[in-house]
Every structure is written in C-alpha cells, then in structure tokens.
C-alpha cells in the first residue's frame, strides 16, 4: 500500500469515527424538554414525520405538538417551564435555549387552551420569553399564563405574575400594544376589535348551609 493510499484510508477512518461520536451530541443539543404526563393520543410533527408520544419521551426544538380530541399532555422544558394542554390543542416549540451564553423561549399557541408556567428563563431575562398566537405576540418574564384560541376569538389570562414583572402584548391585527402589570387579569381579543382587559372571573364559592 502506498503512503498516499494509507493516509487516505486513515483519514476516512477518523472521519467515520468523528461522525459517529458527535451525532448523538447534535441530537441532544436540540432536546428541550420531556413529556411528564400524557393521556390518549398526542403526537409531535418532527421534520417530515409525525410521531406518537408517550410519557417520558423527549421533545425537541421545532416540534409541533398536537393533542387529539381526548388527548392531554404536560411538558416540562429544560428550565422547568411547564406547559399543559389538550382537547385538539396545538403548540409549536420554535426555539428553546437555556444556557450561560443566552436563554430564550420562543413558542406558539396555535390552537386550543394552553396553560404555561414560565420557569427560570423568565427570571434570567424578562424579554427572553416570546409566545405567539394567531393574533398576539406576548413577551413575559416569570409568570403563569393561560391562552384560549379558536374561531377568531382569543383570551389571555394572567394567573400569576412575579412581583414587579410585566406581560407585554402586541396585537398584530389592530397594531395595539398593552402592558399588563397585575395578576388576575383577562385580556380578550375578538377579530379586529380593540383588546379589552378585565379582572379574571372566578367561580363563585358554594353557599355554606345554615347551621341547624
């Protein structure tokens, strides 16, 4: 075997070894969370494939996650952000990064009712969390938010907000901007009408029967 042929074989060998060694790391770099709970049918569209999920499965950046009519999922992201949705709900995990070099959570609520409790990313950078819906762009720090979308109407409920925190809302239909700085607030969107804000309605407590 000539020296040049020998060097070519060695080069090819190391190229294969490096490809095998680094391939799992590339996949792991895209992992952004795990399915904690799941009932009925929930799937993830990943690239050109639709994969049926189970509890304990990993989720990845760019996953489009869909719940069937009776499906329900709870997902925990790498920074302990919790996401819960079901009943034909659809979300997209556009980008999730939690690191010293930069943290951000970009996702969309495409359909249905979705509950999101923002984790450490919202504490590190109040502008790092961006959530879109068919009508809204929401930027938030550490907070608990509930989204309801469907038939052109939407609601955003601020269930909890870190002290001194705020939720910035931009309506891409009406070009309005609002800043919500208190919890227990519900913002409503209907078509191209102006956004309205009101205290979140709570279920009335049952009356205590009189003592005999």
Structure token pair of residue 63: 């996953």
Distance between CA atoms of residues 175 and 172, nearest Å: 5
Q: What is the mean pLDDT of residues 179-183?
A: 92
Residue-range domains of the chain with CATH: 32-199 (2.60.120.1440)
With cut-offs at 50, 70 and 90, classify the pLDDT of residue 64. very high
Instruction: Report the candidate in 157, 159, 137 with the shortest Cα–Cα distance to residue 147.
Output: 157
The yes-or-no verdict on residue 36 having pLDDT over 90 is: yes
**Model confidence pLDDT, tens digit, residues 115-136:** 999 998 888 777 789 999 999 9
Q: Is the separation of the CB atoms in 205 and 199 below 8 Å?
A: no
Compare 151 and 108 and report the one with higher pLDDT.
Answer: 108
Q: How many CB atoms lie within 10 A of CB 108?
A: 20
141, 162 contact by CB (below 8 A): yes
Work out the pLDDT band at 25, boundaries 50, 70, 90. Answer: very low
Using DSSP, state whether 26 is helix, strand or coil: helix
């Amino acid at each position: 075997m000539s020296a040049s042929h020998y060097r070519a074989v060695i080069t090819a060998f190391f190229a294969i070894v490096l490809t095998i060694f680094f391939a799992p790391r590339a996949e792991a770099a895209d992992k952004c969370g795990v399915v904690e709970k799941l009932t009925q049918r929930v799937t993830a569209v990943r690239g050109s494939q639709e994969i049926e999920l189970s509890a304990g499965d990993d989720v990845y950046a760019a996953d489009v996650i869909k719940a069937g009519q009776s499906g329900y999922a709870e997902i925990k992201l790498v920074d302990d952000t919790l996401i819960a949705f079901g009943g034909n709900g659809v979300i997209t995990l556009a980008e999730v990064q939690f690191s010293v070099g930069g943290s951000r959570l970009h996702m969309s609520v495409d359909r249905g009712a979705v509950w999101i409790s923002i984790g450490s990313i919202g504490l590190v950078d109040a502008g790092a969390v961006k959530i879109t819906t068919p009508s809204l762009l929401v930027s938030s720090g550490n907070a608990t938010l509930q989204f309801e979308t469907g038939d052109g109407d939407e609601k955003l409920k601020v269930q909890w907000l870190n002290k001194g925190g705020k939720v910035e809302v931009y309506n891409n239909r009406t070009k309005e901007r609002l800043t919500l700085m208190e919890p227990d607030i519900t913002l409503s969107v209907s078509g191209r009408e102006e956004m309205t804000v009101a205290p979140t309605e709570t279920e009335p407590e049952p009356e205590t029967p009189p003592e005999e």
